Amino acid sequence: MFTRHALALAWAGSALADGTRPCGLAAMQLRSTDHAVDLQPRFSPAEFSYSATLDFSMETFSIDAEPEAGCEVGGLPNRPFLAPAVEKGGNPKESNICARDPATGAEQWYRVSVAKLSGAETEIAGMRVRGGELVPEFRPQQRLYQVQLDVSHDFVEVDFVLQDNGQKVLWKATPEVRREGLNSQSSIVRALVMETGEQQHHQRHEVFPLDVGFTRQLSLHIESADPMKAAQGVYTINVTRGGCSKQRPLYNPRSGSCHIECPQGTYANKEASRCSYCNRNCAVCSSFSVCDLCFQDTVDTSYVLDQSDGNCTEVRGSFFKKYYWWCLSGSIFGGLILCGCLVSVCEWLCRTCCSSRRKFQLNSDSDID
């Protein structure tokens, strides 16, 4: 029996043997009404056998095909077919489509085997935790995982893909629990490989906070797509976040790493082993409710410290109001200079005009004599 790789090589070899390339499909897509259905493997003109699985709610499917230039499509493209019946054992339904050479009549057939989910599935298709690695590696049948989260991640970010879009999900999380003796670790990050373009199942995202050196249990509850079967399943993830070392005991959320001292705007929260943010507009503080120094005033903003809660109130003001006397003094000084300049100009004009008139009169008297 020929493998897919061998068939592809034979198809390419035939093109080289007689100098002509057989007709093929340029694109092929399976859909149910307006919803895309994923083909396995992904479509390639040299791949002739595919499989697909419909969601429980999908009643029909059709194949959209586009031939290569100079070829035409044969079979039954763009025609809806009834989905395979789940009650009859879930036997897949085959649909064939071909690319035909109108000049020679040569045909290249593509086979698509379509199955349908029963609606009782409680498995998901994929899952990963950003900044950590699932142990053991994800498998739909595996329900319990351990994750060592890198210290630089303040949140547990879980990406997952449902097996059926009709499945209902519910996330639950236990309170955080401190784990002693944890050091900062870097974990291998594995990405969920999502194909580009239109997809049958999209990646979903959920976020949970987790402090430095703490652990937390997350559980994903899956309810089947068919409400009459009401099947349920649970995926459990025990996530532990790395802690800082004794040499660098404080986690800095701005840099995402451990430090000896905290930067401006934060204070050393030893209970949480991190640099926690001061109250609003506070530059230096010993705790969230005790501020020692507000941010430095700017041209149009000043900060007033409230000792009751450690908050620095932001007061907006215009430049003119803040520097009223400076502006007034500057205006008076500028006006005096302007007046002085005007007087000087007037004096110069008077001297120039008077001297010119005197010269004219002297010249007139000499002509009369």
Does 112 lie in the same domain as 56?
Answer: yes
Domain boundary among 116, 137, 166: 116
Tell me whether residue 35 is in a domain.
Answer: yes
Burial code of 338-365, b = ≥16 C-beta within 10 A, e = fewer? eeeeeeeeeeeeeeeeeeeeeeeeeeee
Tell me whether residue 78 is in a domain.
Answer: yes
Give the CATH number of the domain where residue 230 resides: 2.60.40
Does 106 lie in the same domain as 128?
Answer: no
Does 171 lie in the same domain as 110?
Answer: no
CB atoms within 10 A of CB 108: 22
Give the tokens for residue 200.
């049958």
CB within 8 Å of 291: residues ≥ 6 apart? 278, 279, 282, 284, 285, 305, 310, 311, 312
Backbone angles phi, psi at 61, to 5 degrees: -150, 160
Does 109 lie in the same domain as 13?
Answer: yes
Q: What is the pLDDT of residue 8?
A: 45
In the numeric block, the tokens 């739909």 are attached to 140
Question: Would you say the C-alpha torsion 131, 136, 139, 142 has a positive or negative sign?
Answer: negative
Tell me whether residue 148 is in a domain.
Answer: yes
In the numeric block, the tokens 């302007």 are attached to 338
Domain boundary among 241, 270, 303: 241
Burial code of 314-327, b = ≥16 C-beta within 10 A, e = fewer? eeeeeeeebeeeee
Q: What is the pLDDT of residue 1?
A: 37
28 and 110 Cβ atoms separated by less than 8 Å:
yes
Instruction: Sort strands 72-75 and 311-316 into parallel, antiparallel or unpaired.
Output: unpaired
Residues comprising the chain, all counted? 369
Per-residue model confidence as pLDDT tens for the chain (369 residues): 334 444 443 444 444 345 566 889 999 999 998 899 999 999 999 999 999 999 999 999 999 999 999 999 988 777 888 888 776 556 788 888 999 999 888 999 999 999 999 999 999 999 999 999 999 999 999 999 999 998 889 999 999 999 999 999 999 999 999 876 545 444 444 444 444 446 778 899 999 999 998 999 999 999 999 988 889 999 999 999 988 888 999 999 888 889 999 999 999 998 888 899 998 889 999 888 888 899 888 877 888 888 777 788 888 765 556 566 677 787 888 888 888 888 887 877 777 776 655 555 545 555 555
Does 200 lie in the same domain as 153?
Answer: yes
Give the tokens for residue 129.
């935790």
Q: What is the pLDDT of residue 185?
A: 46
Q: What is the pLDDT of residue 323?
A: 65
Q: Total structural domains in the chain?
A: 3
Does 176 lie in the same domain as 232?
Answer: yes
Give the CATH number of the domain where residue 108 resides: 2.60.40.2340
Tell me whether residue 31 is in a domain.
Answer: yes
In DSSP terms, which residues pair with 215 in a beta bridge?
A: 177, 240
CA–CA distance, 143 with 219 (Å, rounded to integer): 10
Does 197 lie in the same domain as 291?
Answer: no
113 and 50 Cβ atoms separated by less than 8 Å:
yes
Domain boundary among 116, 138, 172: 116
CA–CA distance, 301 with 309 (Å, rounded to integer): 21
Tell me whether residue 130 is in a domain.
Answer: yes
In DSSP terms, which residues pair with 173 in a beta bridge?
A: 218
- Give Cα 170 distance to the centre of its chain: 22
Identify the three-state secondary structure at position 4. Answer: helix
CA–CA distance, 274 with 62 (Å, rounded to integer): 57
Does 110 lie in the same domain as 132?
Answer: no
CA–CA distance, 231 with 222 (Å, rounded to integer): 8
**Residue ranges making up the domain that contains 210:** 124-241
Tell me whether residue 199 is in a domain.
Answer: yes
Give the tokens for residue 277.
């943010």
252 and 243 Cβ atoms separated by less than 8 Å:
no
Does 208 lie in the same domain as 159?
Answer: yes
Instruction: Sort strands 274-277 and 266-269 into parallel, antiparallel or unpaired.
Output: antiparallel
Nearest to 298 by CA among 284, 312, 278: 312
Beta strands in 270-336 (DSSP E): 274-277, 282-287, 290-294, 301-306, 311-316
CB within 8 Å of 22: residues ≥ 6 apart? 11, 14, 15, 101, 106, 108
CA dist 282 → 229, 267, 291, 292, 309 (Å):
57, 11, 6, 8, 11
Tell me whether residue 262 is in a domain.
Answer: no
Does 161 lie in the same domain as 141?
Answer: yes
Q: What is the pLDDT of residue 355?
A: 64
Does 232 lie in the same domain as 144?
Answer: yes
Tell me whether residue 363 is in a domain.
Answer: no
Q: What is the pLDDT of residue 13?
A: 42
Q: What is the DSSP letter of 40?
A: B
Does 85 lie in the same domain as 14?
Answer: yes
